[in-house]
């Protein structure tokens, strides 16, 4: 049985990835390392240790702690590292960039050093389309060859981490892949992000704050489609390559919010336009032709269906939502 070390596995995408692997009954042991910051919620993987006692292990640790990470890798004979761990909210990065540099840059370097020492088979860096910067409305979508041009401290820290991963491949021949994905949505997403925040506010008849005029466009992907793409890269990705992962679902923020309100039968009068975010990127769009052509992956869940599934999940998991909202996230 091979072992995957998943960092940030209590977060939104990481926890969905762990559930996906365990649900597939693949012959893998999962070791989850998470520092349980505000967005790392143990309830995201509630009961997993009981239902998969031989395949799942959790350790609370900072990815910047080399000694602990090295010990875990050695103890479990880790074969692969998938780095989901990151500070990921743009607004928070504007308020306090230092935390983002520490986790997203220094933390990634620490993991790379541990991977190099222990000669792991592959290191996958989970990055973001935000490292490419912003597009105008008529620009072509980002490809893997698009120059990096981050516009906020969060995306700058992720771009820095990507450069480190590339450097360890080029300098030390560490087997790596970098994946850059568009905006994820789905179950277990911390309710500071657009879709779960809008769902929660609408359910409670609170104002739905939208930056500027709501014209900013994002490409959306259902989180399980992202998880499937990561598995394709893990098994079949060519070492050293970057793969863009997109959902083929470009929508403006105002369109997304109106869809949420429509599905919840709530009035558009709940929408409230607020002062725009500093350096707010106008548009992200992912060209995923490379991973589709080379690894036979494409998104399977269209946005409307995915949004309906997401809303139904939040409606059926109000206890989870209420427990998370007790934290100070706004």
Catalytic residue among 87, 129, 219, 250: 129
Q: Which segments of the chain does DSSP mark as H helices, in order?
A: 12-23, 48-51, 66-76, 90-95, 97-100, 107-118, 153-172, 194-203, 223-236, 253-263, 289-295, 303-316, 318-325
Catalytic residue among 56, 80, 132, 154: 154
Tokens of 162: 């990507």
Catalytic residue among 62, 130, 162, 219: 130
- Give dist(CA 12, CA 295) in Å, integer: 24
Residue 211 appears among annotated catalytic residues:
no
Residue 132 appears among annotated catalytic residues:
no
Residue pair 241/165 in contact by the 8 Å Cβ criterion: no
Residue 129 appears among annotated catalytic residues:
yes
Whose tokens are 């929408």? That residue is 271
Whose tokens are 């912003």? That residue is 134
- Give dist(CA 102, CA 104) in Å, integer: 6
Nearest 10 degrees: CA dihedral of 160, 161, 167, 168?
Answer: 160
CA distances, 208 to each of 131, 177, 187, 196 (Å): 27, 38, 20, 11
- Give dist(CA 163, CA 157) in Å, integer: 10
Residue pair 281/229 in contact by the 8 Å Cβ criterion: no
Hey, which residues are catalytic here?
129-130, 154
């Amino acid at each position: 049985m091979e072992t995957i070390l998943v960092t940030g596995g209590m977060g939104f995408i990481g926890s969905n990835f762990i559930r996906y692997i365990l649900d597939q009954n693949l012959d893998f042991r999962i070791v989850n390392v998470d520092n349980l910051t505000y967005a790392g919620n143990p309830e995201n993987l509630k009961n997993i240790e009981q239902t998969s006692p031989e395949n799942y292990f959790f350790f609370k640790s900072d990815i910047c702690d080399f000694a602990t990470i090295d010990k875990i890798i050695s103890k479990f004979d880790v074969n692969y590292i998938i780095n989901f761990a990151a500070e990921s909210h743009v607004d928070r990065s504007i308020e306090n960039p230092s935390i983002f540099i520490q986790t997203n840059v220094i933390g990634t370097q620490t993991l790379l050093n541990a991977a190099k020492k222990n000669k792991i088979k592959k290191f996958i860096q989970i990055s973001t389309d935000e490292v490419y910067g912003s597009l105008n409305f008529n620009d072509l979508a980002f490809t893997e060859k698009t120059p990096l041009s981050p516009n906020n401290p969060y995306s700058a820290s992720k771009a820095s981490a990507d450069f480190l991963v590339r450097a360890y491949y080029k300098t030390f021949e560490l087997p790596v892949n970098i994946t850059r994905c568009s905006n994820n949505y789905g179950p277990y997403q911390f309710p500071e992000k657009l879709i779960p925040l809008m769902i929660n506010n609408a359910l409670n008849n609170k104002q739905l704050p939208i930056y500027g005029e709501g014209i900013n466009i994002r490409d959306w992907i259902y989180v399980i489609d992202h998880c499937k793409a990561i598995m394709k890269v893990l098994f079949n990705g060519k070492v050293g390559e970057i793969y863009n992962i997109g959902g083929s679902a470009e929508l403006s923020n105002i369109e997304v919010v109106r869809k949420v309100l429509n599905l919840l039968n709530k009035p558009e009068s709940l929408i409230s336009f607020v002062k725009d975010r500093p350096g707010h990127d106008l548009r992200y769009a992912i060209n995923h032709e490379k991973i589709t052509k080379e690894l036979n992956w494409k998104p399977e869940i269209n946005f409307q269906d995915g949004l309906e599934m997401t809303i139904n999940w939040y409606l059926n998991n109000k206890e989870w939502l209420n427990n998370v909202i007790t934290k100070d996230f706004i």
